[in-house]
Amino acid sequence: MAESPFLPEHFARLDEDPDPVFYDMPRKVVHIDDHAIEEVKHFFRDTLPSDGVILDLMSSWRSHWPPDMPKQKLVGLGMNAEEMSENPDLDDFVIHDLNSNPLLPFEEATFDAVVVTVSIQYMTQPVEVFREVHRILKPDGLFVVIYSNRMFPTKAVAIWRGLNDRQHAELIGAYFQQAGNFTAIEALDRTPAASGYTDPVYVVMARKS
């Protein structure tokens, strides 16, 4: 594996208070606009295994699950119980602070796919978390990272704040490379073709090898 290009200061944040302080207050808002949300649903329908066991990592009160798509189980992992208890797509959820403990509270080879939607910019130990995602994925399982161009700037890591949309894809690709044992790393621009403004939708994904 290549030597790590990352330094501790890359993952510094303007607000270094423990995350439970910031996420204690439920935020029942969406973080991308309606066009982008529809595209995320299309992308999930096109890409995720049907009838699978799926983890929505960094989950909140919406997972953007396509209404007509069968699933065995969708589990949320996030910071706020009130948000996730109102998420109509989740079958189960767990409160877990990834930034204080990147070890995921699941058995190995549990999930067919793991998704992180518009939240990767808040991970302070992404390589450790990506290794854990690898552990909990079934063989050939898919890890999908979706991002756009909005953020809570005080909670986003320094390296994310300093890069543009295209560079964010390279950064996520580097997280996969550093974690190791992922294959078919792919970056996609899934920004919907809307007549007016739409939030961009980008994806970087890879499979457990």
Ligand X SMILES: C[S@@+](CC[C@H](N)C(=O)[O-])C[C@H]1O[C@@H](n2cnc3c(N)ncnc32)[C@H](O)[C@@H]1O
Q: Which stretch binds ligand X (CB under 6 A): 93-101, 170-178, 182-190, 192-200?
A: 93-101
Per DSSP (E only), the strands in the chain are 53-59, 73-78, 92-95, 111-117, 137-147, 182-189, 202-208
Q: What CA–CA distance (Å, rounded) separates 56 from 65?
A: 10
d(CA 137, CA 3): 25
Whose Cβ is closer to ligand X: residue 91's or residue 140's? 91
Distance separating alpha carbons of residues 97 and 185, to the nearest angstrom = 26
Q: Which of the residues 19 through 38 are near ligand X (CB under 6 A)?
A: 19, 23, 31
93 binds ligand X (CB under 6 A): no
- C-alpha 161/C-alpha 80 separation (Å) is 24
Q: In the bound complex, what is the minimum distance in angstroms from residue 181's beta carbon to ligand X?
A: 23
Binding mask 54-83 for ligand X (x = CB under 6 A): ----xxx-x---------------xxx---
Per-residue tokens: 204: 């970087």
Residue 140 vs 199, nearer CB to ligand X = 199
Question: CB 119 → ligand X: shortest distance, Å?
Answer: 4
Among the candidate windows 6-14, 97-105, 134-142, 164-172, which touches ligand X by CB under 6 A? 97-105
Are 141 and 111 spatial neighbours (Cβ–Cβ below 8 Å)?
Answer: yes
With H, G, I as helix, E, B as strand and everything else as coil, classify residue 16. coil
Which residues would be at the binding site for ligand X (CB under 6 A)?
19, 23, 31, 58-60, 62, 78-80, 96-99, 117-119, 122
